[in-house]
Structure 1
Amino acid sequence: MISPMKVIVKFLATFYDIAKTLRTEIEVPDDATISDLLKTIDEKINPSISKTLLDGDKVRDGYNILVNGRAIEFKKGLQTELSDGDEVVLLPPIGGG
């Protein structure tokens, strides 16, 4: 039997407003990817998160997903594999001026 693994998810700025939490631990299957994690977040927390974050099958321009401090665009994008204990951060566009 495949035992689930746990990843830490942090919701910053807009995502905090949607999720109503800053940080949570989510169980995902052993072979889970970022895409699988987002589906689980939709089911367990709020489907508006992936609607806000994704444009079809890619991350919206300006938005970012980090796994252990590294942007998934430098890995395998939404197919980036997760490991037990990984920290995933969802980041909306950062405004400034």
Structure 2
Amino acid sequence: MNWKLFADLAELAGDKHVSVDVEDGATVEDALEALLADRPALEDRVLEDGELRSQINILRNGTNVLTQEEGLETDLEAGDELALFPPVSGG
């Protein structure tokens, strides 16, 4: 599964594009856990007390999974692209 990381999240992960291994039938949450597993600095930025920080957005094929009924339990399919965004500000 491929992740695109943006802004400081890419810096913390060491790359803008990160590939993780997940099993068939995996969910977005499984892919997130795989992403964070060996990246403690990224985990600290994305999670708070083991929960996803409210300002972090996760997109699956361009759609924010957090606004979908299944949320992080959204099933993944081969070829899905995941993106992790920090808070966006500016004007």
Q: Is the structural similarity TM-score above 0.5?
A: yes
1:10–1:88 contact (8 Å) kept in structure 2? yes
Matches within 5 A, 1:68-79: 68-75=61-68, 76-79=70-73
Percent identity, aligned pairs only? 32
Matches within 5 A, 1:22-61: 22-44=16-38, 46-56=39-49, 58-61=51-54
SS of equivalent residue, structure 1 residue 35: helix
Q: Gaps spanning 5+ residues in structure 1: where?
A: 1-6
For residues 20 and 66 of structure 1, what CA distance do their matches in structure 2 show? 20
Alpha-carbon distance, 1:58 to partner = 4.3
For the pair 1:65 / 2:58, whether they are aligned, the reply is: yes
The letter of the residue matching 2:31 is: L
Alpha-carbon distance, 1:10 to partner = 0.5
Alpha-carbon distance, 1:59 to partner = 2.9
Residues 53-93 of structure 1: per-residue CA shift (max 9 Å, x gap): 23346432222000000001222111111111110000000
Q: Gaps spanning 5+ residues in structure 2: where?
A: none
Alpha-carbon distance, 1:52 to partner = 1.6
SS of equivalent residue, structure 1 residue 62: coil
Aligned length: 90
For the pair 1:90 / 2:76, whether they are aligned, the reply is: no
SS of equivalent residue, structure 2 residue 54: coil
The letter of the residue matching 1:78 is: L
Bigger drift between 85-94 and 25-34 goes to: 25-34
